[in-house]
Amino acid sequence: MKGILFLVLLSLCTNSYATAQPKIWNETEEQKQERMAWWTHDRFGMFIHWGLYSSLARHEWVMRYEKIAPEEYEKYMAFFEPDLYNPKEWARMAKEAGMKYAVITTKHHEGFCMFETKYTDYQSINAPLCRKDLIREWVDAFRAEGLKIGFYYSLLDWHHPDFTIDRLHPIAPKDTAEYAKLNKGRDMDKYRQYVKNQVTELLTNYGKIDLIWLDYSYPTGDYGKGRKDWDSEGLVKLVRKLQPEIIINDRADLLDVEGGWDFSTPEQYKVTKWPERDGKRIPWETCQTFSGSWGYYRDETTWKSTRQLLVLLIESVSKGGNLLLNVGPTARGTFDNRAQERLEAIGKWMAVNSPSIYGCTEAPDSFQAPENTVLTYNPTTKRLYIHLLDYPLDRILLKGYAGKVKHAQFLHDRSELKFGDAPFSITYQEDLQKEDILLELPTIKPDVEIPVIELILE
Ligand code: GLC
């Protein structure tokens, strides 16, 4: 009897294990690394949130925050007038900032489509003062600058008549009876098909698409949505079938499905270490805004400084990750001055310091970061980069680096930094052990926001 019970339990366990680890894509770990090689190398991309909300100019969630019903909100389509839209300018600014790829909202939660679609009238081509497939021009311009192309597509849709009212919807009611009433006649089967149809358009009408950002799932709690609501497995299979080399983010609620996602997306916070899943380090990209909201928000005053943004980029790379930095263009199709200023300043730094970013990752454990510095490492060129967040006085002590370094220089001008002796001070002589290196630095901080020391390793 006990034996049978044991067998039953065992088979239950193995079955549930098997169902917990379904697989929707056949690929070895090496093949995955190969497919993601450009993304892992490039490290820095531009996110763009642009839609009707840009003309309300008070958050891309304004429809929800101000509880604007779809019939009311769709009136903004008549005023959407991107007369200054010049994606070639955007692409130039992205490239000059050192960004290597870009991801744009083709449709955000509001449901308005910025691309040509057969499945709704709610699209930019029908906006009387626009009349354009904005995505087509964008793809052409960004591709021409050599940037990789990514599409953001919202799984939520607050405009579609079949999308059931859930707790995030602008017209979400307070009680259950009301939900039932509002959802009468809404058919998520039709909505799922709509999503697949549009994703098919996006992944067949614009050539090779390098990355897709599906956003997002909220399956826990009442009136949420997740993999069943989106048919995430079917959707991701479709994406991979249409664009086998594409890279997919992790927001379709398929974290336990092999092939269901490629990288993780910590949003608006700094990770403390390289993120892991099941004890294994995973590819990751943090997405961050300049000022808090993703869409253009005229009156927001919480803009991060260039320095904060650079530190964000450097720290991401130092933990093996990417940074996707967002711009929210105005309704006229321009980047406002605050965004332009920051992009330019980042570009100024990147123009001379990008070797500490591209192709770099976390430094080997055998190198300890000196105080107030962040390390990155290029495993191909075997160079270690020390980012000086706080500029030291005259010299920097590299504990345990002796015997490991062939040559030391600043990165921005590749000027030599000499190995020095301990100054005449008992303390320093005690601090400086034979395993250590002391590098001499000019007293005056070079004219670089965050100076970088490049060490060519043995
Ligand atoms: C969130 C928000 C959204 C934004 C996105 C970017 O999920 O809903 O407004 O587009 O994150 O990561």
For residues 348 and 336, the answer to whether their CB atoms sit within 8 Å is no
Whose CA is closest to 365, among 271, 264, 273, 284?
273
Give the SS3 label for residue 233: helix
Q: Compare 421 and 18 and report the one with higher pLDDT.
A: 421
Output the pLDDT for position 344: 98
Domain for residue 6, yes or no? Answer: no
Binned at pLDDT 50, 70 and 90, residue 427 comes out as low
Handedness of CA 431, 436, 442, 445 (dihedral sign): negative
Residues 6+ apart with CB under 8 A from 212: 150, 151, 152, 153, 199, 202, 203, 239, 243, 246, 247, 248, 249
Residue with tokens 């590098």: 439
* CB of 214 sitting under 6 A from ligand 1: no
Output the pLDDT for position 429: 66
Binned at pLDDT 50, 70 and 90, residue 196 comes out as very high
What pTM value is reported for the model?
A: 0.94
Question: Does residue 192 share a domain with residue 109?
Answer: yes
Binned at pLDDT 50, 70 and 90, residue 438 comes out as very high
Domain for residue 279, yes or no? Answer: yes
**What's the gap in Å between 215 CA and the centre of ligand 1?**
7
**What's the gap in Å between 103 CA and the centre of ligand 1?**
13
Whose CA is closest to 286, among 325, 339, 318?
325
Question: Does residue 182 share a domain with residue 308?
Answer: yes
Strands of the sheet with 285-289, listed across from one edge: 247-248, 211-215, 148-154, 101-107, 44-48, 322-327, 285-289
Q: Which of residues 323, 356, 389 is at a domain's end? A: 356
Question: Does residue 385 share a domain with residue 305?
Answer: no
Output the pLDDT for position 431: 75
* CB of 153 sitting under 6 A from ligand 1: no
Question: Does residue 316 share a domain with residue 250?
Answer: yes
Output the pLDDT for position 426: 60
Binned at pLDDT 50, 70 and 90, residue 159 comes out as very high
Domain for residue 201, yes or no? Answer: yes
Question: Does residue 137 share a domain with residue 58?
Answer: yes
The lowest-confidence range among 120-124, 350-354, 434-438 is 434-438
**What's the gap in Å between 151 CA and the centre of ligand 1?**
13
Domain for residue 15, yes or no? Answer: no
Question: Does residue 334 share a domain with residue 415?
Answer: no
Residues 6+ apart with CB under 8 A from 388: 372, 373, 396, 450, 451, 452, 453
**What's the gap in Å between 336 CA and the centre of ligand 1?**
20
Output the pLDDT for position 18: 44
Q: Which domain holds residue 75?
A: 31-356
Question: Does residue 262 share a domain with residue 132?
Answer: yes
- Can the peptide bond before residue 391 be classed as cis, meaning omega within 30 degrees of 0? no
**What's the gap in Å between 184 CA and the centre of ligand 1?**
28
Domain for residue 320, yes or no? Answer: yes
Domain for residue 178, yes or no? Answer: yes
> What pLDDT digit, counting tens, does each position of 254-293 carry?
999 999 999 999 999 999 999 999 999 999 999 999 999 9
> What pLDDT digit, counting tens, does each position of 357-402 carry?
999 999 999 999 999 999 999 999 999 999 999 999 999 999 999 9
Output the pLDDT for position 3: 53
Handedness of CA 344, 345, 349, 352 (dihedral sign): positive
Question: Tokens at residue 420, please?
Answer: 């020095």
The whole-chain average pLDDT of the chain stands at 95
**What's the gap in Å between 294 CA and the centre of ligand 1?**
7
Whose CA is closest to 97, among 270, 327, 296?
327
**Rounded distance, CA 134 to CA 52, Å?**
12
Angle at CA 84, nearest 5°, toward 80 and 87? 105
Binned at pLDDT 50, 70 and 90, residue 430 comes out as low
Per DSSP, the residues of 304-369 read PPHHHHHHHHHHHHHTT-EEEEEE---TTS---HHHHHHHHHHHHHHHHHGGGTTT-BPPPTTSPP
Residue with tokens 């929210």: 328
* CB of 267 sitting under 6 A from ligand 1: yes
Residue 228 reports pLDDT greater than 70: yes
* CB of 47 sitting under 6 A from ligand 1: no
Question: Does residue 187 share a domain with residue 64?
Answer: yes
Question: Does residue 270 share a domain with residue 419?
Answer: no
Shortest-distance Cα residue to atom 4 of ligand 1: 294
Domain for residue 430, yes or no? Answer: yes
Say which CATH number the domain at 293 has: 3.20.20.80
Per DSSP, the residues of 183-198 read HTT--HHHHHHHHHHH
Average pLDDT estimate for 282-306: 98
Question: Does residue 326 share a domain with residue 198?
Answer: yes
Domain for residue 313, yes or no? Answer: yes
**Rounded distance, CA 195 to CA 136, Å?**
19
Output the pLDDT for position 16: 43
* CB of 287 sitting under 6 A from ligand 1: yes
Question: Does residue 445 share a domain with residue 319?
Answer: no
Give the SS3 label for residue 176: helix
Number of compact structural domains in the chain: 2
Question: Does residue 390 share a domain with residue 338?
Answer: no
* CB of 297 sitting under 6 A from ligand 1: no
Residue 1 reports pLDDT greater than 70: no
Q: Which of residues 324, 356, 388 is at a domain's end? A: 356
Ligand 1 atom at minimal distance to the Cα of residue 215: 7
Percent of the chain residues topping a pLDDT of 90: 92
* CB of 253 sitting under 6 A from ligand 1: no
Mutate to test the pocket of ligand 1, among 153, 216, 217, 218 (most ligand atoms within 8 A of CB): 216
Say which CATH number the domain at 390 has: 2.60.40.1180
Q: Which of residues 327, 356, 385 is at a domain's end? A: 356
